Amino acid sequence: MKKRLCISLLGAALVAGQAQARDSYDHVRFGVDVPYEPMEYRTPEGELTGFDIDLGNALCAEMDITCEWIEQQWDGIIPGLMARNYDAIMSSMTINEERRAQVLFSDPYFTPPSAWFGPVDTDIDMPSEETLEGLTLGVQRGTLQDSYATDFYNDVANIRRYATADDMLLDMESGRLDLVFVNYPVGKTTLLDSERGDYKVVGEMIREPYKYFGDGIAIAFRPRDEALAERFNEALATLKENGTYDEIHDRYFTD
Amino acid sequence: MELVNWFNELLAGNLIFTPQTLGYYWNGVVTTTQLVFLSLLVGLVMAVPLSILRGSKHRWIKLPIYAYTYVFRGTPLLIQLYIIYYGVVFVDGIQQTFLWPLLREAFYPALIAFTLNTAAYTTEIFHGAIKATARGEIEAARAYGMSDRMMMRRIILPSAFRRALPAYGNEVIFMLHASAIASVVTLMDITGAARFVYARYYAPFEAFLFAAAIYLCLTFAILYFFRFLERRLLAHLRPQN
């Protein structure tokens, strides 16, 4: 009798556990690497804002769930998702093969190009193996820009990898770096439109090859959370249809 | 040739430890070794006169050295590194001086921070050993009519350095381990290589365990070197039978 009770309790617990795993979330915690202006940053008042943040909050509102933002440095952002420190990553993460092996991506919600930025008086006009030879280049560690620069220019140039975009910009300002390679909207906000100094885009926007730039940026989930990703995809489609997406987009990207 | 084949077979099917990433680790070992060795060498050269002057009778010699060792032992090395690396660029016109080509790199600010830090610790280690010199030895030296300078050179320093050896060996190992923070200013030392591999392949265990194994090997090398030195230099203190 006792034994049977035990077994049935165990069974109930198992079923309940499974139901919970399959059950849809009514509270989602997003991992985000701040600052990465204008995608995610803090206002002078200390409030978290940016394209990712506003879109994420709009998605949650659309799905009628609550959400929370948890800051996490970029190079540990995927392990943090696996460790269940948060349920999703919404931090301008570009879809690529290496990441796809680890996480489940939503539909892409934005496709930012990358670009080289340098001081206005730089004499480089087109980055290539010849023109970058011997220069010091800055990237944020573990980003697609890091992979791209490492694979193409590691043999000719000195690549310095920073934990945060902030540290990199500080070294750009002080003259330690000749060029930095970042996501264009971020470079535009933090270098071109800022008071830090006079900078310009060096060369063209870079969107190729597909291996690095993929389909654009998306929300990342743990592979088992397929239902959750599907709900986000539906919400994203709705926001694109009813104009909310465009409204948020225009708030941060003017050109 | 056979070695190359064997090596390629060993790496076959391994996505993380490719010849490329092993190259990063190797460069990391070189950078760490250079950084630690140079800072210890310069730190040692600085510490010898500083530790003698630290025991001076004159307040204006003694106090500044004490202040220096107090500040550098009393603050975290990471903070010292940040101040030197990021602080130096706020000095007006530093970019135009002859020092800039050195300070522009990550290596030299890190070297300066590590050197000042280890020199402070080493000064205190030597100072303690000098102070602990047996009174009888000093009295005997005086009885022989040695001048202060000669007594320092022939009696005090040789025995003080011998006695300081085990403590200094620890300082060397601590320095090796402390050098892991060099990667925060973009230096690709062993930890820097591990962080790169970690961020690229999302494999924290593999990346950091491999780095830990390298540090372990280096630590053993240092340990055995100091054991050898102690056996030679402290031979007269061992039981003779």
Q: Give the CATH number for residue B60.
A: 1.10.3720.10
Measured in angstroms, the CA of B79 and the nearest CA of chain A are apart by: 15
How high is the pLDDT of residue A9?
52
Asked if A141 lies within 8 A of B106 by C-beta distance, the reply is no
Rounded to an integer, what distance in angstroms lies between the CA atom of residue B101 and that of residue B21?
A: 29
Residue B7: inside a domain, yes or no? no
**If contacts are CB pairs under 8 Å, which of residues 48-107 in chain A contact chain B?**
74-76, 78-79, 98-99, 102
pLDDT at position B49 is 95
How many Cα atoms are found within 13 Å in the side-chain-facing hemisphere of A99? 29
How far apart (Å, rounded) are the C-alpha atoms in residues B44 and B121?
Answer: 10
Q: What is the pLDDT of residue B5?
A: 80
Which of A6 and A133 is assigned the larger pLDDT? Answer: A133
Name the token pair of B195.
Answer: 């962080």
Whether B173 is in a domain gets the answer yes
A181 touching B (Cβ < 8 Å): no
Is residue A21 predicted with pLDDT exceeding 60? no
**Can you name the CATH fold of A26-111+215-252?**
D-Maltodextrin-Binding Protein; domain 2 (3.40.190)
Residues A59, A249 contacting (CB under 8 angstroms): no
User: Do the beta carbons of residue B186 and residue B82 sit within 8 Å?
Assistant: no
Residue of B nearest to A102 (CA): B202
Distance from CA of B221 to the nearest CA of A (A): 30
Query: What local confidence, expressed as pLDDT, does residue A86 receive?
Result: 94
B8: in domain? no
Could A161 and B196 be called an inter-chain contact, meaning their C-beta atoms sit closer than 8 Å? Answer: yes
Tokens of A236: 């994203």
Residue B196 lies in a domain: yes
CATH no. for A114-213: 3.40.190.10
B235: left (phi over 0), alpha (psi -120 to 50) or beta: alpha
Query: Is the confidence at residue A13, as pLDDT, over 70?
Result: no
Pair of tokens at residue B90: 């706020």
| Tokens standing for residue A35 | 């600052």
- pTM for this prediction: 0.80
Among B residues 73-102, those touching chain A with beta carbons less than 8 Å apart: 86, 89, 95, 100
The tokens 């989930």 sit on which residue? A221
**Which amino acid is residue A74, in one-letter code?**
W
The reply to whether B11 falls in a domain is no
Domain boundaries, chain A: 26-111+215-252, 114-213
| Domain A26-111+215-252 identical in fold to domain A114-213 | yes
- 3-state DSSP call for residue A89? strand
- For A213-229, write each residue's pLDDT tens digit: 888 899 999 999 999 99
Q: Which domain holds residue B48?
A: 19-88+95-234
ipTM over 0.90: no
For residues B214 and B237, give the distance between their C-alpha atoms in angstroms, rounded to a whole number. Answer: 34
CB contact under 8 A, B199 and A141: yes
Cβ–Cβ under 8 Å, residues A224 and A51: no
Burial class (CB in 10 A: 0-12, 13-18, 19+), A125: exposed
Tokens standing for residue B65: 């050295």
Q: Are strands A136-140 and A158-162 parallel, antiparallel or unpaired?
A: parallel
- Specify the pLDDT at position A22: 45
Tens digit of each residue's pLDDT (9 = 90 or more) over A63-112: 999 999 999 998 889 989 999 999 999 999 989 888 888 899 999 999 88
Task: Please identify among residues 123-152 of chain A the ones whose CB lies closer than 8 Å to any CB of chain B.
Answer: 136, 141-142, 146-147
Q: Is A212 on the interface with B (CB under 8 A)?
A: no
Whether B56 is in a domain gets the answer yes
Please tell me the distance from the alpha carbon of residue B161 to that of residue A234, in angstroms, as a whole number. Answer: 73
Chain B nearest-CA residue for A75: B199
More confident residue, A209 or A40: A40
Distances (CA, A) of A123 to A12, A155, A187: 70, 21, 19
Report the Cα B218 to chain-centroid distance in Å. Answer: 13
Task: Compute CA distances B8 → B1, B12, B27, whole Å.
Answer: 11, 6, 19
Q: Which band of pLDDT confidence, cut at 50, 70 and 90, is reported for residue A3?
A: low
Q: Which of A252, A157, A250, A144 is CA-nearest to residue A207?
A: A144
Q: Is the dihedral of CA B39, B44, B45, B47 positive or negative?
A: positive
Q: Which among B86, B199, B202 is the nearest to A170, CB-wise?
A: B86
Domain count, chain B: 1
pLDDT value of position B160:
93
Question: How close B113 gets to chain A, by Cα (Å)?
Answer: 18
Q: Which residue of B has its CA nearest to A98?
A: B201
Contacts of B188 in chain A (CB under 8 A): 161
Q: CA-CA distance, A136 to A121, in Å (whole number)?
A: 16
Q: How many angstroms separate the CA of residue B34 from the nearest CA in chain A?
A: 18
Q: State the Cα–Cα distance between residues B207 and B214, nearest whole angstrom.
A: 11
Supply the DSSP string of A168-211, one letter for each residue. Answer: HHHHHHHT--SEEEEEHHHHIIIIISSSS--EEEEEEEE---HH
Query: Closest-CA residue in chain B for A162?
Result: B186
Cβ of residue A24 closer than 8 Å to a chain B Cβ: no
If chain B, 241 residues long, is cut into consecutive pieces of 10 residues, what is the mean pLDDT of each piece?
Answer: 76 78 93 96 96 91 95 95 89 83 90 96 96 92 92 92 93 95 91 89 87 96 94 82 68
Torsion of CA A172, B183, B73, B234, to 10 degrees: -140
Q: Within a domain: residue B26?
A: yes
Query: Min CA distance, B197 vs chain A (Å)?
Result: 9
A56 and A96 in contact (C-beta within 8 Å)?
Answer: no
**Partner-chain contact B199 A75, CB within 8 Å:** yes
CA dist A61 and A35 (Å) reads 24
Residue A60 near residue A28 (C-beta atoms within 8 A)? yes
For residue A174, which residues of chain B lie inside 8 Å, CB to CB? 89, 95
Cα four-point dihedral sign B110, B111, B112, B115: positive
Q: How many Å apart are CA B114 and CA B32, to the nearest integer? A: 12
The neighbour count for residue B225, using CB atoms within 10 Å, is 12
